[in-house]
Amino acid sequence: MTVSERLLHYVTFDTQSDENSETCPSTQKQKCLGAALVEEMKSLGIADAYMDEDGYVYGTVMGAEHAPVIGMIAHMDTSPDCSGENIKARIVEYQGGDIALNDTTVLSPKDFPRLERSIGKHLIVTDGTTLLGGDDKAGIAEIMTAVEELIAENVPHAPIRIAFTPDEEIGRGTDRFNLKDFGAKYAYTIDGGTLGELEYENFNAASAVLTFHGRNVHPGYAKNCMINSQLIAMEFNALLPVHERPDCTEGYEGFAHLCEMQGDEERSVLKYIIRDHDREKFERRKEMLRQITAFLNEKYGENRVELALNDSYYNMSEKIKPHMYIVDAAVEAIKQAGVTPSIVPVRGGTDGARLSYEGLPCPNIFTGSENYHGRFEYVPVEDMEAAVKTIKNILINAAK
């Protein structure tokens, strides 16, 4: 099976995770893909493939005894930001200009300039009503295809430990990862984006939930009585720097992102994610939220504003830098695949960030996918094939 055939098959499984669920996995439908992957792995000769009760899929491919055991990891769930149900994916040969996804929706280089890099390639696209799910089913397809080819070619390679995780998109992908039994010396998450990108730095991340308590009375008699929680919430947001939002930042620049809001006069809630690569700046961003909360409570009365602030993960660079040989190995593998490596910071997080902090150094390698988490997601088949070559090169080189 080709890497594109695998992706087209995997995206037929709706695996959207749910941050409001308290189960693991957060949605049982993720286990449907997990079960299918176990059966596929067994058909390739991976006899120990299994899925545990929490929806994590594991398997082992034996390799050269003198080589280190290398992990290859991808996640099964798709983002809650856009529907992943009834995905209608297709392959189009891109010759430039707009791609009509449906009668009213186009994928255009005017909106997404990176599209022009793919002229002459074959793109897997959506029908404009759902996400594609290349994040991270492209990664799964690339790992599975690389493994199948290595087994068929019978070339010496490092032993491989495979893991496919649930719930990465909601920050729980490693909560119940069986690191003790995984047994790899180091690993790579195949969960990056643009062709050639390699990442070993990610955001420090936190979530912030602000709850605003008002006092509602009839608006006709509200003078000096009403305290409108929505207006306090608006004031809170207005006190954050307007130039430190996702739409105004890039590279190593951090941000505070308002991702959800709801409320009425009596009670309002704002939910933010806080991100910064630099740990000191990250801590200052959190302190700013505390100071604004204190200011508004002093202005409107004690406990009018409640802040719940929780760290999610930290920049894995400090755990990777003592093991830079694994980054160097990936750079060489990408070059051997005929691609120019591009080392960039992750403007997000991966399972590898937490795994690195738990003792498994884990850089992130490109899948080729673009425009994650939305209706305009696409992935060039040729870029997926380059990711397959990169994975194979890493594993073969480690056995030399």
Specify the pLDDT at position 312.
86
User: Which one of 40, 142, 168, 197 is the catalytic residue?
Assistant: 168
Specify the pLDDT at position 230.
98
Specify the pLDDT at position 135.
94
Cβ distance 188 to 356 under 8 Å? no
Find, among 164, 115, 145, the residue nearest to 371 by Cα.
115
Specify the pLDDT at position 348.
76
Question: CA–CA separation, 159 vs 187, rounded Å?
Answer: 11
Strand 342-343 and strand 99-100: the pairing is unpaired
Question: CA–CA separation, 8 vs 3, rounded Å?
Answer: 9
What is the CATH class of 204-313? alpha beta
Question: CA–CA separation, 71 vs 225, rounded Å?
Answer: 61
pTM value? Answer: 0.88
Q: Which residues have C-beta within 8 Å of that of residue 184, sequence separation ≥ 6?
A: 68, 69, 70, 71, 161, 360
Q: Within 13 Å and on the Cβ side, how many CA atoms surround 377?
A: 29
Pick the CATH number of 3-202+315-397 from 2.40.50.180, 2.30.29.30, 3.40.50.11900, 3.40.630.10: 3.40.630.10
User: Which one of 14, 40, 54, 77 is the catalytic residue?
Assistant: 77
Q: Which residues have C-beta within 8 Å of that of residue 317, sequence separation ≥ 6?
A: 200, 201, 202
Specify the pLDDT at position 346.
85
Specify the pLDDT at position 343.
95
To the query of whether residue 168 is one of the catalytic residues in this protein, the response is yes
Show the tokens assigned to 199: 């990442």
How is the chain split into domains, by residue range?
A: 3-202+315-397, 204-313
Q: Which residues have C-beta within 8 Å of that of residue 385, sequence separation ≥ 6?
A: 3
To the query of whether residue 280 is one of the catalytic residues in this protein, the response is no
Specify the pLDDT at position 347.
84
Q: What is the pLDDT along the chain (400 residues), one digit of tens a residue?
A: 999 999 999 999 999 999 899 999 999 999 999 999 999 999 999 999 999 999 999 999 999 999 999 999 999 999 999 999 999 999 999 999 999 999 999 999 999 999 999 999 999 999 999 999 999 999 999 999 999 999 999 999 999 999 999 999 998 999 999 999 999 999 999 999 999 999 999 999 999 999 999 999 999 989 999 999 999 999 999 999 999 999 999 989 999 999 999 999 999 999 999 999 999 999 999 999 999 999 999 999 999 999 999 998 899 998 999 999 999 999 999 999 999 999 998 887 789 988 999 999 999 999 999 999 999 999 999 999 999 999 999 999 999 9
